[in-house]
Amino acid sequence: MSAVDRYKVFILAGEASGDALAAHQMAGLKAMSPDIEFQGVGGPLMMEQGLKSLFPMEELSVMGLVEVLPRLPQLLKRIRQTATAVRKFSPDIFITVDAPDFSSRVARQLKGSDFPKVHYVAPSVWAWRPGRAKKIAGLYDHLLTLLPFEPPYFEAVGLSADFVGHSVIESGADKGDGPAFRARHGIKPDERLLMLLPGSRRGEVTRHLPVFKEAVEKLRSDIGAFRIVTPVIGRAGVIVREEVANWDTSVLVVDGEDEKYDAMAAADLALAASGTVALELGLARLPTVIAYRMNAITSWIARRAVKLDYVNLVNILMGKEVVPEHILENCTADNLSNALAELFRSEEKRHQQIVSYGEAMVMLGEGGEAPGVRAAGIIMELIARNRTT
């Protein structure tokens, strides 16, 4: 491939879920064009695909008004730095993956550029702030969506959009080896195993671990003995290890994606913070209780801004609460413990969740072309179209 034909892609992600999305897309692009150059901001999975990140992606992993404000000067500096790097690189295409607050500010600084700008993961205009559809339409040339019902919201305001399937489908969460995990960690086949997933961000972990601890203690007094496993990835793992080391009950802490998915296959139930991991649990067909707490001020804003009956995507897709969820002020130890106890005791409720998981995963693309490959194909089409104009 000549220098003229070589493709240059600037790609930006801001948190762990975006890192995984972008990495799958990068792998798809490399399969279509081996001689491709990446620059941008990303995490370990993107780096495995050949990205050298401008700065640590973790700097962008903040959520909520109160959490962002103290770091605003540094974030503004990173926005300017990133926009400058994009212009210097002069890519064939500029791709942002989720992290909408940061991504949109970089995209705004690139208005008038002669390369197409693509955003991957639509803002949830169907949940709150519908005006964002028009806003993003003024910043980007194309949108890749994870959910089948999203494209019309953006096409209505002039932004072309394609549903590519949800990245969870190619996460590997359905490939775990439960018996091997139990054998590896000395967990007997008949021992009950509860998985705890307090979140991937520092703020999430520190808010959820105390209530998870209390819920576990109440659950143990209610149903008897069970084992606990907690997978960790990234910097938040340090906090998890330090906290659970002081618990009265033993917690098995495991590292890495493979161990996480093996643990999902081995576990009987999960207690998880709402987020992408909830869909991984769905793909793994692991019955779950969903929890989420926010800073008090952020929680107050969210309660008034979000117009949804559910936060868990499986529940949204199914139109009913098949996965118990206890969020904001309802995220209490009593509620979580009672919901877990009910699932432990009811085979029928666990089965209902598993059946609903299967239906929801098909809606998200299970059984079809891998989302990363489909997204990569659309990116290549956009590049080719831009080169011929």
CATH 3.40.50.2000-classified regions of the chain:
7-165+369-387, 178-363
- Tens digits of per-residue pLDDT, 44-97? 999 999 999 999 998 886 544 445 566 678 888 999 999 999 999 999 999 999
- Mean pLDDT, rounded, of the chain: 90
Could you tell me if residue 319 is left (phi over 0), alpha (psi between -120 and 50 degrees) or otherwise beta? Answer: left
The DSSP output letter for 330 is G
Query: Is residue 265 pLDDT above 70, yes or no?
Result: yes
Question: What is the per-residue pLDDT for 13?
Answer: 94
Residue 37 has pLDDT above 50, yes or no: yes
CATH number corresponding to 178-363? 3.40.50.2000
Architecture of domain 7-165+369-387: 3-Layer(aba) Sandwich (3.40)
Query: So what's the pLDDT on residue 308?
Result: 63
List, as own/partner pairs, every contact residues 126-135 make where C-beta atoms lie below 8 angstroms and the sequence separation is at least 24, other chains included: 126/150, 126/153, 127/306, 127/307, 127/308, 128/305, 128/306, 128/307, 128/308, 129/305, 132/100, 133/157, 133/159, 135/104
Look at residue 1 in the predicted model and tell me its pLDDT. 43
Query: Could you read off the pLDDT of 137-153 as tens digits, one per residue?
Result: 999 999 999 999 999 99
Pick from 159-163, 246-250, 382-386: least confident? 246-250
228 within 8 A of 194, measured Cβ to Cβ: yes
